[in-house]
Amino acid sequence: MTLDAAVSSHPRLSLQCEAIAADTTTIRSLDWDRSRFDIEFGLRNGTTYNSFLVRGERTALIDTSHLKFEDTWLPLLQEQIDPKDIDHLIVSHTEPDHSGLIG
């Protein structure tokens, strides 16, 4: 199942939620306005910030998203799981597109 949701305040930001395995769901934050990656690489079609919810004996959330998705990312996550049921938060690195919504 794929769920697409436009970020209401900005039409060039959107979210997709999709089960990619029996125990894994991804939330993709699509930022069509991002024009550069790590300063030197140009992006013609924007970029995605990807989060993964992995369920097993314990549940892990891998990465969050960029702060510009603060109004819509958490409600979409809450449709998948009560955040209190997440046992581990894994942040691959501290750049804002991976850690921006931790707080």
pTM: 0.78
pLDDT (tens digit, 9 = 90+) per residue, 51-83? Answer: 999 999 999 999 999 888 888 889 999 999 999
The Cα–Cα gap between 51 and 17 comes to 9
Q: Within a 10 A sphere around the Cβ of 69, how many other Cβ atoms?
A: 25
Residue 14 phi/psi, 5-degree rounding, is -150, 165
DSSP state of 69: G
The Cα–Cα gap between 23 and 45 comes to 30
What is the per-residue pLDDT for 24? 98
Domains parsed from the chain with CATH numbers: 2-96 (3.60.15.10)
Cα dihedral 90, 34, 75, 4 sign: negative
